[in-house]
Structures are given as C-alpha cells and as structure tokens.
Amino acid sequence: MTGKTLLITGGTGSFGQKFTEIALRDHHPKAIRIFSRGELLQIQMEKRFNDDRLRFLIGDVRDRNRLSRAMNEVDVVVHAAALKHVPACEYNPIEAIRTNVDGTLNLIDAAIDSRVDRVILISTDKAVHPINLYGATKMVAEKVMIQGNSYTGGEKPRFSCVRYGNVIGSRGSVIPLFLAQRKSGRITITDERMTRFWIQLEQGVRFVISSLQRMQGGEIFVPKLPSMRLMDLADAIAPEAEKVFTGVRPGEKIHEVLVTEDEARHTREFDNFFLINPEHIYWGGSTLPGGRPITGDFHYSSQMNTHWLSKEDLQRILMSEGWI
C-alpha cells in the first residue's frame, strides 16, 4: 500500500478506524479516503488522527455516482460498509438489501469503471448457512464480489473477500452489553451451549492487509481463529454475576461456521488461514498458489475447533484492550 491511494467504505466504523491507524503508521499510503454517511463521526475521526493524508467523503454505497467520484484515481478499495445489526435488518429488509447487496453491486461497477487495482470485501461467518437476512445479504455480497472478476477477465480490478468471526469489542459486540449488565449483578445469556469464533480488531485488520497483499482475485480468505464459549466470556467479565438464560433469539445460531463441508472441496489450508477458491473461474484466472488440499469430511465450525480461549486468556485480552 506504500504510495497508494486507498478508499475505505464504512471507514468511520471500528474496523475502518483501526485499519486507518495501522495503514498510516506502518504502510505509508499516499492518501486514505474515508467514505461514510455520517458527518459527526468523520469530524471526530479527523480530529483524532489529524493527518493530511486523510480525505473524508460523505456518501452512501447506494449512490453509484458518488462512489464513482470517490474512486477516481484510487488503487485499493476496502469494502466494510454494511447494515450489520441482525434485528434491524429483519425489521428493515429492503433497506438491508439496498445497502448490503445493491451497495456492493454499485461498488463493483464503480471499481471496474475507475480501473482500481484491487477490491476486498469484509464478510462474516453469518454469511455461511445464513438463517437471518443479514447473513443472506452478506452471502450474496460475497458471491457477486467474487464473480466481479468475470467482468474484468482477470485484469484490473481484482476482487476477493475476507471472512471472519466476531470482533472482540467492536460495535454490536456482546462485551459492552455484559459490562453494562455487570453493574446490576445479572447477565443475560441466550443459551449456555453457544460458541463463537473470536478475533481481536487489530488481528482482523492485519489479516485483511495481508490478504490484500496475497490476493490474485477470486479468493475468500478465512483466518484460523480460536473459539470461545459464551459462558466463559460471561465468567471472564463478571464471575460473580447471576447468569440468566433467555433462550436463543430469532435469527441466532448456537454455533457458527466459517468453512462448510461443500466449500472444503475447493479449499486449501495454509499455516494460519484457509483459502476458499471460487467454484466457477469464468475469467480463466488463477488464485493464490500453495497450501494443502483439504481431504475428508471437513468443516470449520466454532464447536468443533481445536483452538479454544480459556477464561484466563479472555481476561488477558480484555485487559489488553482496555475493556476490564
């Protein structure tokens, strides 16, 4: 990214702010354009960084013309903008589709017209076997992003995705909820069996940056992550609090999956990540070489993981992140 111009959609969010911090400090871009809807968060971010390499653009991914203008002379696009709150997406389904699906289509079209070098989508484990609208929209976003390569014939731009689990302490994370409930001495948990993949925000950003460097176009990059039991998280935050079980919410899973059995047939394993190759390479391109083919009946799910965070591990992470 050295000397390049970057565009981050949804750039004022937790991911965008951390990505900006690391990129400015470690990768020396020519400029980073922060594209988002809210002026207040942009003003706060501008004051926080106070860096003349930052550009702040008010805009919505639903607006194709604004995206095209924002991408003028851009080299790299990181697409993090989305409606992410599961109940909000269920209550506002058309709005979720317009942002998460139509917005991604607009971004692909604008990137092709602007001849950017590479585009990467930030996806989620909710896109795998989706049972809620948010997950379904992200599944479609992944599909159209990967097949965006068909429109460029393997030339510029190249399109890939990163898919990972819950981010510790991000907006919408259960951690702030548990911290608030701790004061009352009573924590609500939907189901004691629940497990999740977890990643720290900086780890997620660095994985995206490494994927940008590796990508050939068409890959879905999945980091190897530890799993965590929600009960352990509650005990790490509030060991003395009463635990109240409320039942699984609509649209919520007991466990999450990052690589399905069907995807495993065209997935290769590397030391620190899995690489899901596209099922249809209509553009005739090639993806990242190397790795080991996955054999047997494999799927990468949070309850079948070999790497687990203990309560002590969680407490250390929460302390290092300043949550407790």
What domains appear along the chain, each with residue ranges and CATH number? 5-165+199-224+257-299 (3.40.50.720)
C-alpha count within 13 angstroms, C-beta hemisphere, residue 117: 13
Q: What was the pLDDT predicted at 172? A: 65
End-to-end Cα, the chain, rounded Å: 34
- Annotation marks residue 311 as catalytic: no
Q: What was the pLDDT predicted at 173? A: 74
Q: Which residue has 């083919």 as its token pair?
A: 293
- C-beta of residue 131 within 8 angstroms of C-beta of residue 89: no
Query: Across-strand partners of 229?
Result: 195
Contacts of 126 (CB under 8 A, 6+ apart): 86, 132, 134, 135, 138, 256
Total-model pTM = 0.94
Measured CA to CA in angstroms, residue 16 lies from 81, 91, 277 at distances of 9, 26, 26
Q: What was the pLDDT predicted at 153? A: 87
Among residues 4, 18, 84, 126, which one is catalytic? 126
Order of all β-strands in the sheet with 76-79: 54-58, 31-36, 5-9, 76-79, 118-124, 158-164, 220-223, 273-276, 267-269, 292-293
pLDDT by 10-residue block (mean), the chain, 324 residues: 96 95 96 97 97 97 98 97 94 98 98 97 96 97 96 91 87 80 90 92 96 95 95 89 90 93 95 94 83 90 92 86 76
